[in-house]
Structure 1
Amino acid sequence: MKKGIHFNLKYFLFSVLLFIVEVVIAVYLSHYQFIRAYLGDVIVVMLIYSLVLTFFDIYHKGRLILGIFIFSVAVEVAQYFHIADRLGFQQGSIPHIVIGNSFSWWDMLCYGVGCVILYGLYQAFKYNKQSS
């Protein structure tokens, strides 16, 4: 199979599902602090993973997961410096919401948990494919 840019319907549909879950959490479950603050951050790394695999055939999934973790931490550090405000995005605007503006060590832990879950699922599916 040739590696590179392509469209993967399975990952696209999974991305849409995860996006809907994230929207439901943000809009309807925001009063449940644990779900909003922690579960959403665990799920968002899975959303990024599935979005990348929707358009790119990545051979080294473990490296992709590590890259997603590094990216997530970089965004969180940018929040510490209020990058959304510094870039001039109005509070409540989509870019401001996507980038965020509140730093939390707990968020980084949740990104790590999400990446560990992803890696575990990747290893399980990889092992399953090899043994079939």
Structure 2
Amino acid sequence: MSIRLLAKILESPLPNPPRCVGEGARFPVSPLYKGGLRGVYSTYARGLLIAMFIFNKKYFYLTLILFLIEICIAVFVNDSFIRPFIGDVLVVILIYCFVKAFWNIHSSIVALSVFVFSCIIEIFQYFNFVNNLGLQKYKILAVALGSVFDWKDIIAYAIGIITVLWLENRT
């Protein structure tokens, strides 16, 4: 099928155009709008992207505060509870706030995604991912990815995500 024929099919108007509302659009969009179906797809996609990408000051400031707390824990605290456990609880909340600062996605989807991401990083630690890729010479990256698998870390991630969901869904 040639590109011209495909373009002609996409631009041909329908006899009874269905109407739909894009998430970012403030008005109904018809397939006849902006040159047939192609216009609807591009308009809807732009509206959806506008609706997804946002800047939320509250979550951005929470991200900055949590990041500073994590730095203080990493630099000044060297114990067996706050650094390994509370730091892991806070890191999933930090990642959650970072995602929510820039994307308008439902809180449960973000929370589940952050938990899965954190568990994947923990599984990488089990397989000694940092050393196998030769990343141990990059200290900041090695500390961020971690090097020791521990089931308590996954429990800490779960506590952090449960805390986030509780705070987001309380009324």
| TM-score band w.r.t. shorter chain | 0.7 to 0.9
Would you say the 8 A contact 1:12–1:51 is kept in 2? Answer: yes
Cα distance between partner residues in 1 of 2:168 and 2:136: 38
- What's the counterpart of residue 102 of structure 1? 148
**Structure that is richer in helix per residue:** 1
Amino acid at match of 1:51: F
Root-mean-square deviation (Å): 1.4
- What's the counterpart of residue 130 of structure 1? none
- What's the counterpart of residue 119 of structure 2? 73
CA radius of gyration, larger in: 2
Cα distance between partner residues in 2 of 1:56 and 1:26: 28
Cα distance between partner residues in 2 of 1:16 and 1:27: 16
Is the partner of 1:33 in helix, strand or coil? coil
1:55 aligns with 2:99: no
With structure 1 as the length reference, what TM-score do the two structures score? 0.87
The equivalent position to 1:7 in structure 2, one of 55, 67, 73, is: 55
Instruction: Quote the offset at 1:91 in angstroms.
Output: 4.2
- What's the counterpart of residue 92 of structure 2? 45
Cα distance between partner residues in 1 of 2:98 and 2:56: 10
Cα distance between partner residues in 1 of 2:157 and 2:136: 26
Is the partner of 1:22 in helix, strand or coil? helix
Cα distance between partner residues in 1 of 2:96 and 2:151: 21
Instruction: Quote the offset at 1:69 in angstroms.
Output: 0.8
Same amino acid, percent of matched pairs = 37
Highest relative contact order (Cα 8 Å, sep 6+), 1 or 2? 1
Instruction: Quote the offset at 1:92 in angstroms.
Output: 5.5
Number of residue equivalences = 123
Cα distance between partner residues in 2 of 1:38 and 1:94: 19
1:11-62: CA deviation from partner (whole Å, max 9, x where unpaired): 11110100000011111012x211011000000010000000111111x211
Gaps of 5+ in 2: 1-22, 25-50
Runs of 4+ in 1 over 6 A off after TM superposition: none
Cα distance between partner residues in 1 of 2:71 and 2:138: 15
